[in-house]
Structure 1
Amino acid sequence: MRTLIFATTIRYLTPLFLIFSVYILFRGHNHPGGGFIGGLIGSIAFVFHVLAHGPERTAGTYFQLTFYHQSRQEHYSLPRHMWQLLQANTWNRVKQGSPSPWRYYMLRVRPAYMMATGLLVAATSGFAGLLAGLPYMTGFWLPFKLPLVGGLGTPLLFDTGVYLLVLGMILKMVFTMSKE
């Protein structure tokens, strides 16, 4: 189902799905929803992107980060070096044919690592209660509230872990099934 209309639509809908999933993640802290449904909504964006563009392009677009680095030479000033570093990381400077002073490092986010990180965050969010001498998974909140998010606390950490776990699990299934 790789049509031009579907591919163009998904390119615009993917950020909206992701923003809405993060909204549901934060909203679920005080209302129904949270990490599980937010992770499902976020994974819908990537499922549609895989259907429209294939798993290789989806993984290359969303789960591969490239960082550019240049050793700072003595005749460069710090603001100029920072500007060039910003340009290289923002506009994806490609490696030129001649020797370039820019080096790049690629960081690939794999769904299995996302699942493991989510499980670690969800499991360790309950240790705050144990450290305070209370039962495991006792909720603690910071004394201030953010305008759109509300109160920040250990339930939000748990929901974030569940969000990453669900997102990683769905992505692993989709990438595995789409390769066959």
Structure 2
Amino acid sequence: MKTIILAVAIRWLIPVFIIFSLYILFRGHNHPGGGFIGGLICSIAFIFHLMVHGPQKTTSDFFTLILYHFPRRPEHSRTRHFLRLLIIQVKRKREADEEYEWLEYVISIEPVYFIATGLLLAAISGVAGLLLNQPYMAALWSDFEIPVLGKPGTPILFDAGVYLLVLGIVLKITIALAEAD
């Protein structure tokens, strides 16, 4: 379903969905919501983009990192290399001098990485209680308060793990179904 109206609307709605999902994630330990609902809302943004543009464009736009680097040559001093790096970072890659050879690293972030990171965060949030001779998954809170978020603790770490887990599972299923079509 490739319509110009939906394609333009999705461009504006993706940040709204992601910000709203983070809001739901962070208010989850005091009010209804949390990691599960937040992960579902965040995945809706990527599902809409996938419906309009297809799985290849969605994965290349959101889940692919391209890093540029040029190696330091032994004949250049550290300060000269650092200044040269600053100057070239300001310019675009195409406008850089030809004497420097750029190395390009393409890192693809698979939904399985979200799933594994989410499971790791959820498990780590439970281990914190064991280290302090309390039951597994005991809620521990810090002494300081972050202005907008409140007091961070192990429940928000658990919710963040669930958020990433749900996001990864929904993305994996949706991309697999879209590629099979």
Could you tell me the TM-score, scaled by structure 2's length? 0.89
The corresponding residue for 2:85 is: 81
Matched, 1:116 2:116: yes
Identity of aligned residues (%): 50
Question: Gapped runs of 5+ residues in structure 1?
Answer: none
Deviating more after overlay: 114-123 vs 67-76: 67-76
Q: What is the alpha-carbon distance in structure 2 between the residues aligned to residue 7 and residue 169 of structure 1?
A: 24
**Cα deviation, residue 68, structure 1:** 0.8
Q: What is the alpha-carbon distance in structure 1 between the residues aligned to residue 99 and residue 10 of structure 2?
A: 38
**1:1-180 correspondence runs (5 A):** 1-73=1-73, 74=76, 76-85=80-89, 93=93, 101-179=101-179, 180=181
RMSD in angstroms over aligned alpha carbons? Answer: 2.0
Change over 3 Å in CA distance of 1:68–1:171 after alignment to 2: same
**Cα deviation, residue 16, structure 1:** 1.1
**Cα deviation, residue 22, structure 1:** 1.0
Amino acid in the other structure paired with 1:146: I
Pair member with larger Rg: 2
Q: What is the alpha-carbon distance in structure 1 between the residues aligned to residue 94 and residue 65 of structure 2?
A: 14
**Cα deviation, residue 85, structure 1:** 3.5
C-alpha contact 2:70 2:100 (8 A) present in aligned 1: no
Aligned residues: 175
C-alpha contact 1:39 1:164 (8 A) present in aligned 2: yes
C-alpha contact 2:36 2:162 (8 A) present in aligned 1: yes
Task: Tell me the SS of whatever aligns to 2:136.
Answer: coil
Task: Tell me the SS of whatever aligns to 1:125.
Answer: helix
**Cα deviation, residue 140, structure 1:** 1.1
Task: Tell me the SS of whatever aligns to 2:174.
Answer: helix
Q: What is the alpha-carbon distance in structure 1 between the residues aligned to residue 124 and residue 26 of structure 2?
A: 19
Q: What is the alpha-carbon distance in structure 1 between the residues aligned to residue 94 and residue 133 of structure 2?
A: 54
Q: What is the alpha-carbon distance in structure 2 between the residues aligned to residue 111 and residue 87 of structure 1?
A: 33
- List, as ranges, runs of 4+ consecutive aligned residues in structure 1 with deviation greater than 4 Å: none
Change over 3 Å in CA distance of 1:116–1:77 after alignment to 2: closer
Change over 3 Å in CA distance of 1:136–1:55 after alignment to 2: same
Once the two structures are superposed, what CA deviation does each residue of 1:20-45 show, in whole Å capped at 9, x if it has no partner? 11111111122110100000000000
Change over 3 Å in CA distance of 1:128–1:50 after alignment to 2: same
C-alpha contact 2:39 2:164 (8 A) present in aligned 1: yes
C-alpha contact 1:69 1:85 (8 A) present in aligned 2: no
Question: Gapped runs of 5+ residues in structure 2?
Answer: none
Q: What is the alpha-carbon distance in structure 1 between the residues aligned to residue 95 and residue 109 of structure 2?
A: 22
Q: What is the alpha-carbon distance in structure 2 between the residues aligned to residue 66 and residue 95 of structure 1?
A: 18
